[in-house]
Amino acid sequence: MDKKVKVGLIGFGYWGPNLARNFEASALYDLTWIADVSPGARELAQKTYPQAKTVPNYQDILRDKEVELIVVATPPSSHYEICKDALYADKHVFAEKPLATRSDHAQDLINIANKAGKILAVDNTFLYSGPVRKLKEVFDSGEIGKPYFIHAERLNIEKLRRPDVNAFWDLAIHDISILDYLFNGTLPTNVAGDGQGYTDGYPREFGSLFLRYPGKVTAQITASWLLPQKSRKMTIVGDRKTLYFDDTHPTEKIKLIDRDISGEGKGDCSVIPVENKESLQAEIEELYRAVRGGHKLPSMGEDGLRIIKILEAADESIIKRKDVRLY
């Protein structure tokens, strides 16, 4: 096995502890630094990972020449500056989604990473899960026939809402990344959105997106921080069969419904078995192969950029109250 990758984690708040746990548990990495501006977060990090140096200033990590990979788990509005500093410090970067809050910032990071020959990856964890990998496999097989439309919903009560992003950028981004993965990076031609905020100090907490892809394929995504039940579902309707994905179901996450759109099918429903492995663990294993051997990830900077363009278009659509054409 190649030598371990030394990791510096920036941010130990909402998602950072999950990242730290998986990097520490992996035999492929050494978690050597953790940075956070919060004294309480640093104290918890030091108790949990005493082998790692804990600091308030992430620049201390960037000065360590032995650190190869910087993991960014800070609020989205800070991603651009931190990722840029890390790339200029000759580090590979793995950033929590979204990569940035503006497409021009994401493009700038991609340009810097390409010039430096460094990996720039985004933590779109669902793309590494067994169910989504199986969803892609069945979708690519053509078994459902020509895809007609996709309906997705991602609903939950979120106490830790982020004031610098709305429910689209925090929740719907997962479904947008899955659609981008299924359609091999094809952007929708048009995006329409509608949403509403209800709590002072927070942006839109509920909304729906409507995406139109080439070939008359459409997708609708509903996202909310305010629903009392947790829902992560996606239905892909084809002219021959329908794929149903329910990520919250303990055992039957993917079903294939054998009923064509004309109503002539038998209506049989089969459960498709999927691999039961923590997606974040699978993701960092693939990330290691990217850092050590140039393995192509499904969530590189370019993939993150496309998703940001869709989210920007959705926000613009809400403001202007009309469809936004991407190309």
Q: Which pLDDT score is estimated for 266? A: 61
Only one residue has tokens 């939950």, namely 156
DSSP symbol at 14: S
Asked if residues 150 and 219 have their Cβ atoms less than 8 Å apart, the reply is: yes
CB burial readout 3-16, b (16+ within 10 A) else e: eebbbbbbbbeebb
What pLDDT is stored for residue 131 in this prediction? 97
Sign of CA dihedral 12, 13, 17, 20: negative
Q: Cα–chain-centroid distance for residue 133?
A: 14
Number of residues assigned to the chain: 327
pTM for this predicted structure = 0.95
Stated as kind and residue range, the H or E segment containing 248 is none
> Measured between alpha carbons, how far apart are the two ends of the chain, in Å?
45
Classify the phi-psi angles of 323: left when phi > 0, otherwise alpha if psi is within -120 to 50, otherwise beta: beta
Q: Which fold has domain 5-123?
A: Rossmann fold (3.40.50)
Q: Tell me, what's the pLDDT at 262? A: 56
Cβ pair 92, 295 in contact under 8 A:
no
Q: Which helix or strand (DSSP H or E) is residue 74 part of?
A: none
pLDDT for the residue 265 = 55
Per domain, the residue ranges of the chain are: 5-123, 127-276+310-325
Task: Specify the 3-state DSSP secondary structure of 200.
Answer: coil
* Alpha carbons 325 and 86: distance in angstroms, whole number: 34
Nearest-angstrom CA–CA distance, 79 and 109: 10
pLDDT of the residue at 294: 83
Give me the sign of the Cα torsion angle 42, 43, 49, 55.
positive
Tokens 């419904």 label which residue?
A: 257
Distance CA 71, CA 224 (A): 27
Three-state secondary structure of 210-238: EEEECCCEEEEEEEECEEEEEEEEEEEEE
**What is the rounded CA–CA span in Å between residue 195 and residue 76?**
20
Indicate left, alpha or beta for 184 from its phi (over 0: left) and psi (-120 to 50: alpha). Answer: left
- Considering all CA atoms of the chain, what is the largest pairwise distance in Å, rounded to the nearest integer? 65
Local confidence pLDDT in tens for the 327 residues of the chain = 579 999 999 999 999 999 999 999 999 999 999 999 999 999 999 999 999 999 999 999 999 999 999 999 999 999 999 999 999 999 999 999 999 999 999 999 999 999 999 999 999 999 999 999 999 999 999 999 999 999 999 998 876 566 788 999 999 999 999 999 999 999 999 999 999 988 887 789 999 999 999 999 999 999 999 988 899 999 999 999 999 999 999 999 999 998 655 555 566 899 999 988 899 999 999 999 999 998 999 999 999 999 999 999 999 999 999 999 999
Contact call for residues 195 and 156 (beta carbons, < 8 A)? no
194 in Cβ contact with 172 (< 8 Å): no
Which CATH architecture describes the domain 127-276+310-325?
A: 2-Layer Sandwich (3.30)
User: From residue 289, how far is each of 25, 47, 177, 313, 319 by CA, in Å?
Assistant: 17, 30, 21, 33, 42
